[in-house]
Amino acid sequence: MAEQKSYHMSPEDFRRHGREVIDWIADYHENVERYPVLSRVRPGEIADSLDTEVPARGEAFDQILRDATERILPGLTHWQSPGFHAYFPSNASGPAILGELLAAGLGVQGMLWSTSPACTEVEMRVLDMLADLLGLPDAYRSSGSGGGVIQDSASSAVLCALVAARERDSRLLTNREGCDGTQVAYCSGEAHSSLEKAMGVAGLGRAKLRKIAVDGCFALDPASLAAEVEADRARGLRPIFACATLGTTSSNALDPLAAVGRICRDEGLWLHVDAAMSGAAALCPEYRYLHDGVEHADSYCFNPHKWMFTNFDCSCLWVADRRALTGALSILPEYLVNEATEAGQVVDYRDWQVPLGRRFRALKLWFVLRYYGVEGLRHHIRRHIELAGRLAGWIEADPHFELAAPAPLNLVCFRHRGSDRLNERILKEINGTGEVFLTHTRLDGRFCMRLSVGQARTEAEHVERAWQLIAQAAERLRKSAT
């Protein structure tokens, strides 16, 4: 009788091909600087290069990996390039990749404590350690009234915080009956768009989000917030939630947390702190001033997958009162009932997020924390801030350029003096070189370039080269205009 084909990859083949993949990734990171940072393919080009049908018989792994090199790689924008200065840092590192690989290999589903106790307990310990490292309030630790959880992104974190605020205000009535249209939330006009999306998803309505005026540094103006809250109460509405941003995406503006926190405390608003962009800076004691007033916050979020060498997705959310969050999100069907949950002695992270299922994200974060240590993390954050400061100095010293916003950390917003059209042409020309990739924003209605310093392999020579390309492009365009 012929032996039946299993179709699975054998353990020996897995070992062999696994080594090949690790070598491929190591080669990629070693050589990533050689690729054009911004992909140059045309829309549809990658799809047109791929097969349109699943093969009838499985293909050799060598061919699959070869196609990944020849067909997939040309369509990538290389976020791990030291010349990537767009949007925000989005780092991968060796320890994080290997931690992710181990988590994938284990393949656990961590929705309940009982479905993999280590998945839950490692996450609790890692979030407690990070809370200590960031100097967050004692209430945020698992031994206090709140605790931490890893979400996929800050967008999910703010949605969870908003739903918790909604249910705290309504005493769980909106979960049963739906929203009544009277609950209102607040953020600065520079806050991330995820809050506006969350208002729609949570059923509160985007029209009920008040975008508060900002000051000359593009940070939320507390007096305008207080006035808007008072006006909404006079209209018969119920202010329930405010978001303070520590590091806005456009300009890295830092909302005045202490002043906003006092207003939220006095008015009974849930205060969410979105530190997704810049919270990692508080790992360094000299930047702990970012957290002045954080004791007023009901929830706090930052993204290790941005500036802490942990590959996407990994967003840390802490709450001061876990009951407000779990009360809003918990639902227990019979098929999930188990002895550990019923005993009330464990944390079930399914109650801390929108989805039921969850990956073992904490493992890669645990690897990163242990491999780099406090010293290594602080070294790189300080280095990136120093390099951004150098760039800001060069811009200020050049009579043709100007800073468009303060640059307190690792993002520099600037523009060439003159028209928006000129700045657009400079940006297009430098991105066309393939050596760097920058993005833009609008501040005070003006087109501005943004240069983010924070990729794992970005060093002084890369920032210097970016500035050289910018200055050279500007000079060429000035000459061509005369």
Looking at residue 2, its pLDDT comes to 58
Looking at residue 141, its pLDDT comes to 95
Looking at residue 150, its pLDDT comes to 97
Alpha carbon separation from 19 to 12, 173, 357 (Å, rounded): 11, 55, 30
**Cβ-proximal residues to 342 (8 Å cutoff; 6+ apart), any chain:** none
Between CA 238 and CA 248 the distance in angstroms is: 26
What average pLDDT values come out for the chain (482 residues) when binned by 10 residues? Answer: 76 94 95 92 90 90 93 93 91 94 93 90 96 95 95 95 96 93 95 94 95 95 97 96 95 96 97 95 96 96 95 96 94 85 87 92 96 96 96 96 96 96 95 95 96 94 96 90 70
Domains and CATH numbers, the chain: 108-359 (3.40.640.10)
Q: Are 350 and 356 in contact (CB under 8 A)?
A: yes
Q: Are 314 and 303 in contact (CB under 8 A)?
A: yes
How far from chain centre, in Å, is Cα 482?
Answer: 44
> What does the DSSP 8-state code read for residue 251?
T
What pTM, to 2 d.p., does this model score?
0.93
Between CA 41 and CA 278 the distance in angstroms is: 32
For residue 297, give the nearest of 451, 164, 453, 408 by alpha carbon.
164
Q: Are 255 and 290 in contact (CB under 8 A)?
A: no
Task: Report the amino acid identity of residue 176.
Answer: R
Q: Are 365 and 304 in contact (CB under 8 A)?
A: yes
* Cis? peptide before 313, omega within 30° of 0: yes
Looking at residue 482, its pLDDT comes to 67
Looking at residue 5, its pLDDT comes to 78
Task: Report the amino acid identity of residue 401.
Answer: F
Looking at residue 6, its pLDDT comes to 81
Looking at residue 4, its pLDDT comes to 74
